[in-house]
Amino acid sequence: MGKIKTVIVDDSAFVRKTIREMLSASPEIDVVGMARDGEAALEMVEQLDPDVVTCDLLMLKLDGVGFVRRQMQRKPVPILILSASPNDAKHVLEALEWGAVDFIQKPTRLANDGLLLMRKELIEKVKAAALAPQSPQPFPPVPVAAAQPRRRATRVDIVVLGVSTGGPQALRYLVPQFTDDFPVPLVIVLHMPIVYTAAFAEKLSEISRLPVREATEGCVVQSGEALLAPAGRHLTFQRTSQGPVQVRLSIQPIDKPHRPSVDVLFQSAAETYGNRVLGVVMTGMGDDGKRGAAWIKAQGGTILTQDETSCVIYGMPRSVAEAGLSDGAVLLTSMAEEIGKRL
Annotated catalytic, 208?
Answer: no
| C-beta neighbour count of 49 within 10 angstroms | 12
Closest to 304 measured CA to CA, from 337, 275, 326, 322? 326
d(CA 317, CA 326): 8
Residue of 37, 91, 191, 205 marked active site = 191
Q: 172: Cβ–Cβ under 8 A, 6 or more apart, which residues?
A: 97, 139, 142, 204, 207
Spot the catalytic one: 26, 37, 51, 164: 164
Handedness of CA 251, 257, 258, 263 (dihedral sign): negative
Contact assessment for residue 331 and residue 309, using Cβ atoms and an 8 Å cutoff: yes
For residue 266, the number of C-alpha atoms closer than 13 Å in the C-beta half-sphere is 30
d(CA 256, CA 178): 31
- Alpha carbons within 13 angstroms on the beta-carbon side of residue 326 total 20
234 noted as active-site residue = no
Q: Is 263 a catalytic residue?
A: no
Evaluate whether 329 touches 308 at the Cβ level (below 8 Å): yes
Contacts of 21 (CB under 8 A, 6+ apart): none
From the candidates 288, 307, 310, 326, which is the catalytic residue?
288
Q: Contact 327/301 with Cβ under 8 angstroms?
A: no
The span from the CA of 247 to the CA of 260, in Å, is: 13
Burial class (CB in 10 A: 0-12, 13-18, 19+), 48: middle
Helix axes 196-206, 89-97, angle to 10 degrees: 50
- For the chain, the residue count is 343
Strand residues in 119-181 grouped as ranges (E) = 158-163
Tell me which residues are annotated as active site. 164, 191, 288
